[in-house]
Amino acid sequence: MNEIGRKYEEKAAELLEKQGYFILERNYRCKQGEIDLIGKEGEYLCFIEVKYRSGLSYGSPLEAVTKAKQRKISRTALYYLTKEGYPEDTPCRFDVVGISSNRAELIRNAFEYQR
């Protein structure tokens, strides 16, 4: 990961912690893919994608989380749940933090599990 990516993931983690999240993992990687942040908010285990855009010419940060990216995050999350021994009924959700030059936006439950 490059320095810019690290900077904005750190900014996202700080935002999430201020909102009550407890960060469990940063840059979780396995053969299925990578998840920027994994955290807990209340009873939910949250898989969080962080997207930064310096401008909107390529769309908003949130638009950058394509269906293909959602599938990859979903598969990685399933692997994490299995590997870490979480019960099947663990409440989970997929959140996105979109960061642009002048703001950060948290979208809880940004997308559903994608097969």
- φ, ψ at 88 (rounded to 5°): -60, -30
**Residue 27 pLDDT > 70, yes or no?**
yes
- What is the number of domains present in the chain? 1
For 45-61, the pLDDT digits (tens) are 999 999 987 766 666 66
Inside any domain, residue 101: yes
Task: Print the domain residue range for 15.
Answer: 3-59+76-111
DSSP codes, 21-57: -EEEEEEEEETTEEEEEEEEETTEEEEEEEEEESSST
**pTM for this model (two decimals):** 0.92
User: Which three-class secondary structure state does DSSP give residue 98?
Assistant: strand
Q: Note whether residue 80 is domain-resident.
A: yes
- The CATH number that applies at residue 23 is 3.40.1350.10
List the beta bridge partners of residue 45: 40, 92
Residue 70 located in a structural domain: no
Find the range with the poorest average confidence among 36-50, 66-80, 94-108.
94-108
